[in-house]
Amino acid sequence: MKSRVGVKRLIGYGSVLIAGMGIVIAATVSGEGRQDDVDAAIDTTRTLATAKPVPVARAVAEATVAPPSAAASSMTMPDAIRAIQNAATTKWTANGTQEPHAGETSPALPDGFSFDTAATPASAPRICTTAKRIICADKTTYVATAYINGAPQFSFPFRPGDGRGGSFATGDGHGRIDWKSRHHVSSLYGTPMPYAMFIAWDKDSRRGQVFHLSYDFQREGYDGFSHGCMGVGSEAVMQRMWETFKPGDKVYTYRS
């Protein structure tokens, strides 16, 4: 992605994993998923109102530019997003009982960010350009692209769960759409998950990770993360995904 992004607010950040919580988290995740069609999914921790929140003004990104003399405008969109996610990870590690975005009044998003669209990748793994129907999600650029018969149809930003630690990381590699739930609400967290498209990973037994419209993503931006789901901030995009893909269609996540 060649576009340049301005970053207006600078804070320190680091990339660290959540320590001391692995056993508890892993135990929680392993029991989640579809069991006798019970509505259970991995999503953000906060209990939300079922009504869609009123849009709020977009906040600037939180980031550190290295070296200090470098201009903030030299950061690419993925770099700016990654800086926000790293800052959120640091805050979560410092206090795992409090969401990183607590106290924020606007979503943390880089300048020029749009929930509705993203640049289509110049190249992609071979499976993306040879499969009949597939959603390819790049966890380096935070961009997912819908492909039909090898041709990209539309690309959009998403928010994964990796910042919360390995147990809540979004699955890697091959998977497929397992089942769909149009008006889904997580039975674990009480959070609405409209247009939920549940993913079955080939090498991960968890069945609670989902593509879905995320009101948390809309409100928090990247200053926060899910429990493994790939949140989409645009209802128009998620509706198009819902209409385009059906159970059995492929999903592939990777890092470019």
Q: Where are the domains of the chain?
A: 4-254
Residues 85-118: tens digit of each pLDDT: 999 999 888 887 888 888 888 999 999 999 999 9
CATH superfamily of 4-254: L,D-transpeptidase catalytic domain-like (2.40.440.10)
The reported pLDDT for the residue numbered 126 is: 97
Average pLDDT, the chain: 77
Number of Cβ within 10 Å of residue 60's Cβ equals 19
The alpha carbon of residue 23 and the mean position of all alpha carbons in its chain are separated, in whole angstroms, by 23
Residue 238 CA to residue 140 CA, distance in Å, equals: 21
Overall size of the chain counted in residues:
256
Residues 215-246: tens digit of each pLDDT: 999 999 999 888 899 999 999 999 999 999 99
- 10 vs 92 pLDDT, higher one: 92
Among 33-42, 115-124, 142-151, 229-238, the minimum mean pLDDT is found in 33-42
